[in-house]
Amino acid sequence: MSWFANVKIGAKFNIIMSFLLVSLLLVAAYLTYHRQQSLLLKIAVDNARNYAKVIIETRDYISSVVRGEPENNYGLVPQVVATQVAKRLTKDHGTTSVRFPSGTATPTTAPTTMSRPS
* 66 inside domain: yes
* 117 inside domain: no
* 46 inside domain: yes
Q: Is the pLDDT of residue 112 over 60?
A: no
Structural domain harbouring 31: 8-105
pTM for the whole thing?
Answer: 0.48
* 1 inside domain: no
Q: Is the pLDDT of residue 103 over 80?
A: no
Distance separating alpha carbons of residues 55 and 65, to the nearest angstrom: 15
* 97 inside domain: yes
Segment 22-56, tens digit of pLDDT: 999 999 999 999 999 999 999 999 999 999 988 88
* 88 inside domain: yes
* 110 inside domain: no
* 24 inside domain: yes
| Residues whose CB is less than 8 angstroms from the CB of residue 107 and which lie 6 or more positions away in sequence, other chains included | 87, 96
Average predicted confidence (pLDDT) for the chain: 77
Cα dihedral angle (94, 46, 105, 89), rounded to 10 degrees?
A: -50
Domain count, the chain: 1
